[in-house]
Amino acid sequence: MSAVVLYGLAGAALLLSAVKDKKKTRTALRKGWIAFAGILPQFIAIILLVGILIALLRPEVLSRLIGSESGWFGVLLASGVGSITLIPGFIAFPTAALLLRGGAGITQIAAFVSSLMMVGVVTLSVEISYFGKRAALVRNSAAYVFALLVAVVMGLVVPLW
């Protein structure tokens, strides 16, 4: 769905640009390609790595470890696993839903989802190359603390709905 919108948008913009100025359009494509080629190696490595991680983390084992009775141990485990890498939402949410049904606690799942999307140790080197060590480390650690905070709040609030 979002793919159709994005490709349509990019196609239309490209066409408009080409009609207005062919030379500028070529430069634009070259710039886009340079940016893409620069990050492609990391893209490929991360996609492959996520494949292995998902294959190793079997939901039935994990959901037992992070059940609603698992307390802080479960929260730390869930957020630790979530922090390994930045996992795209289309894998993260169904996996989280599966874990919930398998008996995982809301608090633990909240920690898992937030750290999955905001904290990435594997992607840290890419982030550092763009933002420097300090900014990247502060962002990831702050996001990690926040993931724990969200987990606690969600554990209290969500059951009230």
Partner 1 sequence: MVKKLLRSYLFALSVVAVYVLLAFTHRAVFDTAVETAVSGTWEMLAVIPPVFVLLGLLDVWVPREVLTRYMGPGSGPRGGFIAFILGSAAAGPLYGAFPVAAVLMSKGASFFNVLLLIGAWSTTKIPMLLFEFQALGAPFAFTRLLLNIPAIIGIAWLIQAVVPRLEVERIYEKARLRSGASL
Q: Which of residues 96-135 bind partner 1 (CB under 8 A)?
A: 96-97, 100, 106, 109-110, 113-114, 117-118, 120, 123, 126-127, 130-132, 134-135
Q: Which stretch binds partner 1 (CB under 8 A): 65-73, 75-83, 88-96?
A: 88-96
Give 5 or 69: the residue with its C-beta nearer to partner 1.
5
Identified binder of partner 1 from the candidate list 22, 36, 72, 73, rule CB under 8 A: 36
What number of other Cβ atoms are within 10 A of residue 109's Cβ?
26
Identified binder of partner 1 from the candidate list 28, 65, 76, 77, rule CB under 8 A: 28
